[in-house]
Amino acid sequence: MVFSSVVFLYIFLPIMLLVYFAVPKKLKNAVMILASLIFFAWGEIRYIFIMLLLAVMDFWCGRKINQYEGNHRKQRLYLWIDVSVNLLILFFFKYADFIISNINGITGLEIPLLHIPLPIGVSFNTFQSLSYIIDVYRGTVTCEKSFYNYLTYTTLFPQIIAGPIVRYETVDEELETKKISMDNFSKGMRRFIIGLGKKVLIANQVGSLWNMIETGAYGELSFLLSWIGIIAFALQIYFDFSGYSDMAIGLANIFGMDFDENFNFPYISKSITEFWRRWHITLGSWFRDYIYIPLGGNRKGFAKQIRNILIVWFLTGAWHGASWNFILWGLYFGIILILEKTILAKALEKLPAFFRHIYSIFLILISWVIFAFEDLTKVGNYLATMFHANGTSFWNNEALYSLKNYFLIILIGIVLSTPLVKKITEKLEKKKTLPRSIFMAAIYLGILLLSTASLVSDSFNPFLYFRF
């Protein structure tokens, strides 16, 4: 993993950028397609053919829907062909073993598991394809006439691993005409370096602490250590995921494209409703626009609104992984959101902002325990320790050791999960004097060098969202 990261950053990406900027405009998409195919082949070459076949089907069904404009029966036919095949591929690779294991558990059968490796970014790729074909059917976008352009869109390697989910309408014009400029290149490089630093310098560091705690490498879990651990995981998943999104958005800027924002400092939220407006924004908007609103949203009475919320959050949990803990995690948020809409909203408004923030962080940390452990027994045991309900010690030497060694990086992570540093940086970059420009360039160069050194020296470099 370390070797792959270094090779990607310092060999593959620079060569790809040199070629991209050297070729004429009409060949830039070809370079992006080739780079994307190499990127996916690096992970699992056999799945490239599935991706290409799905791209052909999406493009063909889109053209057919456009051809039969006014004939709703035939348009629906091609919509359902495309949606069904995309979902079938997703279910087969992601959920087949989960379904088989549950059938075995219920019936006592011993159906062998398939143990099929999950294609890289299959969930993001599927949702991207579905958004395109549904928008063509709705008439909110015009179907792509060039397969060359559509293949560029559906294989965009910067974001296909961990988002953001890019809708066709976001980039349709840029597939034809890239907004390439020194300003975009500079902005993209800065954003990419920030994302890399978030991933390597923060997520990996707090992640190593969480890894030791959740695997038991630190020994017996105490009340204090359990809270330190879940705070570390909360920081890891935020800086891992938002860092990758920053890198994807930065690369898009370099290529002359704009991707939607995916995170907006979610840990400053004062309600769970606000949290989900700030966390994984493109996923939330996808479920809202393609599931919640088509089901009726809040327009068909209170009972159906509750039903729709639960369906959306069941699917949100299942999207994250083929395990009951993810489904429980999704329903946990669904129930809280229902309570906020019906009971808690007015009560929360009366509380001071500080207490609303504590309420939100407390519920978010509980949710990460459910998310982190696929074994529900481990979820129960960890929560029991967090509430000091299973007789474990209040603190132990391992807790003190982790505080001593990781307090600074946890504190840095907490500060950086607020807008404070961003506001300071924006003020410094706004007045483009030479000393300030040199100072900011030195900061970005320092982050890049520290990230490189960490990548080379540290073997712990997981990407949490690769499995989704």
Dist CA 158 CA 244 (whole Å): 9
- Do 130 and 94 meet the contact criterion of CB atoms below 8 Å apart? no
b/e per residue 256-275 (b: at least 16 CB within 10 A): bbebbebbebbbbbbbbbbb
- The tokens of 324 are what? 């009951």
* Nearest of 248, 246, 159, 164 to residue 197 by alpha carbon: 246
Dist CA 153 CA 132 (whole Å): 10
Non-local CB neighbours of 82 within 8 Å, separated by 6+ positions = 57, 58, 61, 62, 129, 130, 133
Dist CA 83 CA 129 (whole Å): 9
CA 364 vs CA 279, 368, 385: distances in Å:
11, 6, 17
Number of H helices, E strands in the chain: 23, 0
Packing angle of the helix pair 420-430, 434-457 (nearest 10 deg): 140
* Cβ count within 10 A of residue 336: 22
319 alpha carbon, distance to own chain's centre: 11
- Do 215 and 468 meet the contact criterion of CB atoms below 8 Å apart? no
Dist CA 168 CA 259 (whole Å): 10
Among the options 72, 115, 280, 320, which is catalytic? 320
Dist CA 323 CA 382 (whole Å): 18
Helices (H), 156-301: 157-160, 168-176, 182-197, 204-214, 223-254, 272-278, 281-287, 293-295
The sign of the dihedral angle between the CA atoms of 21, 23, 24, 26 is: negative
Catalytic annotation present for 72: no
Q: List, by residue number, the catalytic residues.
A: 320
